Amino acid sequence: MNSPIEVIKNEKGILLRNHLDKGKKKKWRFFTQNQDAICVLTLDGQFVLVNSLFENMTEYSVDDLIKKKFQSLSHIESLDKVFNYFHRAVLGQVQNFDCKMINKSGKVIDLNISIIPIIEDDEIIGVYIAAKDITEFKKKKIEIRKLEEFHRVLTENVLDIILSTNLLGKVIYVSPSCKHLLGYNSDELIGKHFSHFIHKDDLERAISDREMLMAKFEHIRGSYRFQKKDGTFIWMESIGHPIIDPDTQNLLEVISIIRDITERKKTQGLLLNSEKLTIAGQLAAGICHEVRNPLTAIKGFIQLIEARTDNKQFFDIINSEMNRIELILNELLILAKPNEIKFVIANIKTLIEESKTLIDTLAIMNNIQIEIINEIGDLSVNCDKDQIKQVFINFLKNAVEAMPEGGKITIELLKLNEEKLKILIKDTGTGIPQPILNRLGQPFFTTKETGTGLGIMISKQIIENHSGTLQFWSDKNGTVFEVILPL
């Protein structure tokens, strides 16, 4: 005997079929011409009517579906959701949700389902279901989400700055890496004009490059100094890419990839200086060869003339200037023969003390104290002892001459790491003005009346020939020479 609920369901099933028979042509047009897969279900989910799109999607025939309930096609992970939304629709609420269905061949299909109650005489007698296959849409959505995540990870972790500017040059996007390179948070730069970052001396060139990009729709590469939040400048290379609307062919924005090239600029400077030293060495060898021979002859004839005349007043001046020429030639010879190095293992502490001993007398005469601070003990370097001592003597002599009123020279020996040591030579002089400091090491540039301008240049080359580095700083409190040598 059927239960009261089953009796009610059967009665409503009859009402549903009668409802579908009424205006059959109109309803059939709705089924056949609709772009969605459509079906009609009884209140317990039994298929009553399906269109051809629903058949194609499920791969079941109409006869097969009539024997099934809609819930039987649901994937197990969507079963609770389908029952829940179906129950709400039976109570009179239109429902829309995504779920998974399994077709006849076992393929899992992603669907967007709309369930619409069928009402007649204020009584719910069944439901319409409109289903859209969103499997490909879901796949693309997952791919887009992956691309978005990849883009997020890329922009948050890449060391280069990704900068997007509109046609007016205002920043509309900047990657988080600007915090690491320039010190700004991204939101601090949004809305600012790109010229806000560029050094004034590079701004005209940067604007010209951008105008060329916008005019010709071509990639533009340029190097400019960018200002950091702390006010300092670093060299950056910018590669600008035009973003063009594919339909209108109009320029939309400019995307720039900006990279820190400060170290590259330093390397280029070092290579340039190295090339200058090589050329200077070649010139020095040629000068020495061409000048020394006639100089020897001139000196000989001057000595003969001097011996035959009683007026010797001008010969002292001539001999003094000749000796100065010889001094320059000797220093040029050192520059011209940088490879004649005799490497031996030497104690750096001993080399420093021997260099100090040679300068001590000069220092005492000028009321200067020389102090050695040794924090490394007895460490050895592989070097040409005479050349390294020449470097230290040059720097100590320069320090003494920088303090005509007396002062103090400090020599600090520090261990930089397991492979290198650092030697700092500090004086308490009045310092070297920045314009002059920038020219130290250039051939024949000197502030001394009797200097040749080759001392620091030769010292720098000796240190570099020993795989070391030389740097110097100066302010009103004095000058510091820093020598780093491999242990």
What DSSP string describes 121-159?
TTEEEEEEEEEEE-HHHHHHHHHHHHHHHHHHHHHHH-S
Same domain, 377 and 414: yes
Please say if the pLDDT value at position 454 is more than 80. Answer: no
Among 151-160, 337-346, 411-420, 436-445, the minimum mean pLDDT is found in 436-445
Same domain, 222 and 296: no
Instruction: Please tell me the predicted confidence (pLDDT) of residue 269.
Output: 65
Highest mean pLDDT among 1-15, 105-119, 467-481: 105-119
> Taking residues 226-238, what's their average pLDDT?
89
Q: Which of 260, 287, 316 is the last residue of a domain?
A: 260
DSSP state letter for 23 = T
Instruction: Please tell me the predicted confidence (pLDDT) of residue 445.
Output: 46
Instruction: Please tell me the predicted confidence (pLDDT) of residue 441.
Output: 57
| CATH code: domain of residue 456 | 3.30.565.10
Instruction: Please tell me the predicted confidence (pLDDT) of residue 104.
Output: 92
Same domain, 321 and 388: no
pLDDT tier at 1 (50, 70, 90 boundaries)?
very low
Q: Which of 260, 281, 314 is the last residue of a domain?
A: 260
Mean of the per-residue pLDDT values of the chain: 80
Instruction: Please tell me the predicted confidence (pLDDT) of residue 329.
Output: 67
CB proximity list for 101: less than 8 A, separation 6 or greater:
58, 73, 74, 75, 78, 108, 109, 111, 131
Domain that holds residue 274: 265-336
- H/E stretch holding 282 reads helix 262-307
325 vs 219, more confident:
219
Domain assignment present for 151? no
Instruction: Please tell me the predicted confidence (pLDDT) of residue 98.
Output: 93
Same domain, 16 and 122: yes
Domain assignment present for 145? no
Condensed to tens digits (0 to 9), the pLDDT of residues 388-428 reads: 888 888 888 888 888 888 888 888 888 877 788 888 888 88
- Using alpha carbons, select from 12, 193, 219, 210 the residue that is nearest to residue 117: 12
Q: What is the pTM of this model?
A: 0.39
Same domain, 416 and 394: yes
Domain assignment present for 370? yes
Same domain, 126 and 34: yes
321 vs 138, more confident:
138
* Coil, helix or strand at residue 283: helix
Q: Which of 336, 352, 367 is the last residue of a domain?
A: 336
Percent of the chain topping pLDDT 70: 75
Same domain, 132 and 18: yes
pLDDT tier at 100 (50, 70, 90 boundaries)?
very high
Among 42-46, 89-93, 217-221, 452-456, the minimum mean pLDDT is found in 452-456
423: which 2 tokens? 């030697």
Same domain, 371 and 475: yes
Same domain, 94 and 80: yes
Percent of the chain topping pLDDT 90: 11
Highest mean pLDDT among 24-28, 270-274, 296-300, 371-375: 371-375
> Taking residues 305-327, what's their average pLDDT?
69
- Number of domain units in the chain: 4
